[in-house]
Structure 1
């Protein structure tokens, strides 16, 4: 099976599909969700009618655009974990129909739509839409990273100490104590936006210097990792290995605006007591 060329025309088609889903299923329901349209699906995790309708639209339209690609959507996978196996099967669309659902359900930004196209476990195209501002980020493997058509080069914030976006909420108590004692003093810590569609652009735009991710599910990270790496930053596993969408059970990743910032944080994490 031949890989599709991630041309500007192809990206324009993906963008149109994402904007249609946003404008049809998501934005009209912002701050208007009715009782029963927000459902708890796990501890501190919800799904809304906007998620499910957006995924239905995206899945159908992306499948029409590239029929030879499998489709892996967040909500379809939640309903049937066997859908994960499609990530091993050559070409595959990966869809987060509403990234930042908790923010959306609470009536606050940020939230967005994430789409990636992977081949044999590696993302070859990634697209990120901010539903409220309309900001559109995209990247193609070997083809650079762009925001609203402008080619981007990732930039550090220039702050000293550097800015790290890190949530300790998802850490075990021992891990949390180690991070606060050995990592926090070397950075200015800010909370995560709980939205990968916002976090990865922040690393490129000089808002945050580094970020640590615990869960690395493909719909949250496939597009963003490609976008950051193509912009000249670095996103990789803490041991330096590349992120692959078909390794969905692995945890842990570092994203950084520059390779030097990545190296510094990776070394500090590697040297934590007990590591």
Structure 2
């Protein structure tokens, strides 16, 4: 494990122990709000993001920082994705966290020139730590990993439909359902990306592709040997924050099969 990985792991553990877990299943009245569209935020999200960025600023002063909660408060902050920046989702899976259920985790990425250069995913309950560096491989708890599929005859697909309108949602289900075993989604990208590399799911599709949800996971999956790209095959870039649609798969072949079917709908 690199020195940077060790520092990020220590940071995630510290914020989890001091800020996140003390409020798990212990949120008080007024400590959960809805940002709109069934998108909750808690006091733990906000406090964790502040603590994470304070520590990251000490690791590399002077670069941008883009967080889910800070960007909600000030949408102009997203412009920092155009340059070198840290990207943070302080509690990915807030819906689960707020309801007292797993999974949820911390996602951190370092991007430059619109491309993710490093990414980290920390499971707050199990302490599973995924790390990846561009052209440097993907790791789980310090061990280099290579993606594996489920091995199922019918690929297992976890399809996020929550940001589709009713008509589009039904077209997707009708068009893809016969070709896949449909699995429940965890409502947590910090869990969904590991599932794609560790043999639980074979493919996922996402409509909303915000950087704090996908920057770390897309790099980690690709460095493990999977494929994560826009529906047209172009690479995922954090500076294209208005684009929608993303396919992530345990192998390029599975990715291409899903892209062909999805683009034919």
1:159 to 142, 152, 162: 152
Structure 1 consecutive aligned stretches of length 4 or more whose deviation exceeds 4 Å: none
Equivalent position of 1:51 in the other structure: 45
SS in 2 for 1:262: helix
2:207 to 200, 211, 214: 214
Residue 139 of structure 1 and its aligned partner are, at CA, apart by: 0.1
Equivalent position of 1:4 in the other structure: none
Residue 17 of structure 1 and its aligned partner are, at CA, apart by: 1.1
- Equivalent positions of 1:143-222 (< 5 A) are 143-222=136-215
Question: Retained in 1: the 8 A contact 2:160–2:204?
Answer: no
1:143-195 CA-partner distances (Å, limit 9, x unpaired): 00000011111111011211000133332222122222221100000121110
Tell me the distance in 2 between the aligned counterparts of 1:270 and 1:40.
33
Question: Retained in 1: the 8 A contact 2:160–2:207?
Answer: no
1:108 to 101, 123, 140: 101
Tell me if 1:19 matches 2:13: yes
Equivalent position of 1:3 in the other structure: none
Tell me if 1:247 matches 2:240: yes
SS in 1 for 2:245: strand
Tell me the distance in 1 between the aligned counterparts of 2:13 and 2:235.
30
Tell me the distance in 2 between the aligned counterparts of 1:178 and 1:142.
37
- Equivalent positions of 1:114-133 (< 5 A) are 114-133=107-126
Equivalent residue pairs, number: 265
Equivalent position of 1:41 in the other structure: 35
Question: Retained in 1: the 8 A contact 2:163–2:208?
Answer: no
2:56 to 62, 66, 71: 62
1:49-108 CA-partner distances (Å, limit 9, x unpaired): 11011001001000011003211111100000000011112x100000010000000000
1:13-44 CA-partner distances (Å, limit 9, x unpaired): 11111111111110111101111111111121
CA RMSD in angstroms comes to 1.0
- TM-score where L is the length of structure 2: 0.98
SS in 1 for 2:185: coil
Tell me the distance in 1 between the aligned counterparts of 2:82 and 2:256.
30
SS in 1 for 2:235: coil
- TM-score where L is the length of structure 1: 0.94
- Equivalent positions of 1:67-86 (< 5 A) are 67-86=61-80
Tell me the distance in 1 between the aligned counterparts of 2:227 and 2:2.
24
Question: Retained in 1: the 8 A contact 2:149–2:196?
Answer: yes
Residue 125 of structure 1 and its aligned partner are, at CA, apart by: 0.4
Residue 134 of structure 1 and its aligned partner are, at CA, apart by: 0.4
